[in-house]
Amino acid sequence: MPSDKDCAKFVWSDYYLTEATSVAFQNLYNNTDGLLDSWAAFWAKTAAEFKSFSNVIGYELINEPWAGDIYANPLLIVPKVADKMNLAPVYEVLSKAIRQHDEEHCIFFEGITWDDFGVGFDTVPGGELYRNRSVLSYHYYIPPSLALIENFGARKKDLERLKCGGMMTEFLTSAGEIEPMFKTMDAADMYLQSWIGWEYKAYHPSRPNLKGNRRSALWNGTGLDQIYVQNTTRTYPQAVAGYTVKFRFDLTSKEFVLVYEVSETCHATESVVYLNEEVHYPSGYTVTVTPSSVKWSSATKNMLTFNHPTSLPVGACREEHQRDPNEYWHYKRYNGPQGHVSARTVASVAPLEWELQKIVQQFATIQLKSCMTLDVENCHSTVHIKQVNMSMMEYARSFEFTMKESVKKATQWAAFHHTSRKYGSQNQRRPYHFLKSI
């Protein structure tokens, strides 16, 4: 067995190009010496042990699979070919082993890493019956991936064709070179994709070629890396009771926007939004919801729930928004195709009522830190979350002037700190994890 020092003599990716690696992967796919049987037995055992864990979202069959023996069959290098010839049959075997013990958790499946123009799978592991419990796993790195938007566009076409979920399960996160990371996160929001970041851990054995920002991830050896935490924790929807039209989080302003439509195929009425109060809203936030038939609550820290009534009609609508310096968000809406009624929910979370802002703006600059929006026309709701700038509040109070009663109430309301209460036990509210075979 070679040591870490021996392995570090070459870049890790170079080992993939060796004939030994290609043959080893092909032996696994071909079930040589019962390798595939053992792999399936591993996943069967794993599913049997973890099927009752509500904080496990699913099982990823293999991370970054190699194409197989590219020397015996060079066509495997061609995108999509290895997916169809090697991976798809293997995934059927593995999914069958898992489904014998666990019918509910998601199965994450991945193509070769250079499927830039789409994956070669014709269906999800297990077939059409499991589309709603299957997730196409993909990574984004340059190289080998295409440009950012083109990459997400290709994945969107894959998801529409396979009719399954999708998740970007790797991309480079960093506490140093952060702009590319932000662009990737914003693109993931735009394409409604969840993500998992990758970085070498500080507790990993010393590697000469990993220095500075590339060495540190969430933990830097002495504790949490606060720069990393601030830049990677984001407000996002954990569950949406309908069809998600769009969501977006602005790390600078802390504004969050979510738009969804009521769907006849979704019978749930509760949507769940996660927000990191300590990091992004340390002085609190405000929430307003329209119409009044859509209710919101926060039974525990960092969680907001929105419930729309069952009377909200199913419909279809399109929405465009633009940022206006004097308003939060402007919406252009129409009622959808003939015979349909717009069924949309809008929410905003903001720091301070505008009336209070107008009075104190002559004394201090008000910083708007967040806004989350769901939109509703006829059957659409809106919520705003904005951070309260407490230093500004204290500054405003230092002036001797008489406030109107409404302003007093607004001040008290804006300074309100969110308290933790007993929280419900629905599975979709809990932190999710998935098991990954590497």
- CATH label of the domain that carries residue 77: 3.20.20.80
Looking at the structure, tell me whether residues 181 and 250 fall in a common domain: no
| Nearest by Cα to 28 from 81, 121, 112, 94 | 94
Instruction: Classify residue 86: in a domain, yes or no.
Output: yes
Per the structure, the count of domains in the chain is: 3
129 with 249, same domain: the answer is no
270 is catalytic: no
Q: pLDDT, tens digit, for every residue of 103-151?
A: 999 999 999 999 999 999 999 999 999 999 999 999 999 888 989 999 9
Whether residues 294 and 170 share a domain: the answer is no
Residues 162 and 54 reside in one and the same domain: yes
Helix axis angle, 88-99 to 35-50, nearest 10°: 40
Q: Which domain holds residue 96?
A: 1-198
- Name the strand (E) or helix (H) holding 168: strand 165-171
349 against 26, higher pLDDT: 26
Q: Of residues 347 and 377, which shows the higher confidence score?
A: 347
- Higher-confidence position of 382 and 185: 185
Residues 184 and 239 in one domain: no
For 65-96, the pLDDT digits (tens) are: 999 999 999 999 999 999 999 999 999 999 99
Q: What is the mean pLDDT of residues 293-320?
A: 77
Ramachandran area for residue 113 (φ above 0: left; ψ -120 to 50: alpha; else beta): alpha
Closest CA to 93 of 107, 77, 114, 75: 107
Q: Of these residues, 19, 49, 60, 64, which one is catalytic?
A: 64
- Decide if 84 is inside a domain: yes
* Dihedral of the alpha carbons of 129, 133, 136, 137, in degrees to the nearest 10: -150
pLDDT of residue 18: 96
> Nearest-CA neighbor of 242 among 152, 374, 137, 136?
374
